[in-house]
Chains A and B, each alone.
Chain A
Amino acid sequence: MNLTVGQELPTRAFVITRDSLVRYAGASGDFNPIHYRDDFAQSVGLQGVLAHGMLTMGLAVQTVVDFVGDSGRILDYQVRFTKPVLVDAKTGATVEVSAKVIEIDDDSKTARIDLTAVCAELTVLGKAQVRVKI
Chain B
Amino acid sequence: MVNPQIEGKSYPPSAPYLVGREKIREFAKAVFSNDPANLDLEAAQALGHKDLIAPPTFAVVIQERSLSTVLADKEAAIDFSRVVHGDQRFVHARPIVAGDLLTGQLKVASVKSLAGNSMVTFETQIIDQNQTLVCTAISTLVVRGQE
> Residues of A with Cβ closer than 8 Å to B?
14, 20, 23-24, 26-30, 44, 53-55, 57-59, 61-62, 65-66, 69-72, 74-81, 127
Decide: B47 and A70 in contact? CB cutoff 8 A: yes
Known: A26-B26, A78-B87. A71 touches B64 (CB 8 A): no
> Does residue B130 face the partner (Cβ distance < 8 Å to A)?
no
- B window 86-119: CB within 8 A of A: 86-92, 94-95
Decide: A61 and B57 in contact? CB cutoff 8 A: yes
Query: In the docked arrangement, what's the CA distance between A57 and B32, Å?
Result: 11
Decide: A29 and B33 in contact? CB cutoff 8 A: no
Query: In the docked arrangement, what's the CA distance between A88 and B1, Å?
Result: 33
Decide: B31 and A55 in contact? CB cutoff 8 A: yes
> Does residue B146 face the partner (Cβ distance < 8 Å to A)?
no
Query: In the docked arrangement, what's the CA distance between A23 and B89, Å?
Result: 23
Task: State the 6 A-B residue pairs at the shortest beta-carbon distance, nearest first.
Answer: A58-B31, A78-B89, A27-B30, A74-B56, A58-B57, A72-B95
Query: In the docked arrangement, what's the CA distance between A110 and B108, Å?
Result: 30
Known: A28-B61, A29-B64, A71-B95. A55 touches B88 (CB 8 A): no
> Does residue B73 face the partner (Cβ distance < 8 Å to A)?
no
Decide: A71 and B56 in contact? CB cutoff 8 A: yes
Residue with the greatest number of chain B CB neighbours at <10 A, chosen from A14, A65, A80? A65
Query: In the docked arrangement, what's the CA distance between A23 and B47, Å?
Result: 28
Total A-B Cβ pairs within 8 A: 104
> Does residue B134 face the partner (Cβ distance < 8 Å to A)?
no
Decide: A74 and B88 in contact? CB cutoff 8 A: no
- B window 28-55: CB within 8 A of A: 29-35, 37-38, 47, 49, 53-55
- Residues of A contacting B95 with CB < 8 Å? 71-72
- Residues of A contacting B27 with CB < 8 Å? 27-28
Decide: B31 and A70 in contact? CB cutoff 8 A: no
Residue among A29, A54, A57, A62 making CB contact with B34, cutoff 8 Å? A62
Known: A58-B57, A61-B57, A71-B38. A79 touches B88 (CB 8 A): yes
> Does residue B85 face the partner (Cβ distance < 8 Å to A)?
yes
> Does residue B81 face the partner (Cβ distance < 8 Å to A)?
yes
Query: Can you offer 16 A-B residue contacts whose CB atoms are under 8 A?
Result: A23-B30, A27-B27, A28-B27, A57-B88, A69-B35, A71-B35, A71-B37, A71-B55, A72-B37, A72-B47, A72-B95, A75-B92, A77-B56, A77-B57, A78-B138, A79-B87
> Does residue B60 face the partner (Cβ distance < 8 Å to A)?
yes
- Residues of A contacting B81 with CB < 8 Å? 44
Residue among B30, B60, B138 making CB contact with A26, cutoff 8 Å? B30
- Residues of A contacting B53 with CB < 8 Å? 71-72
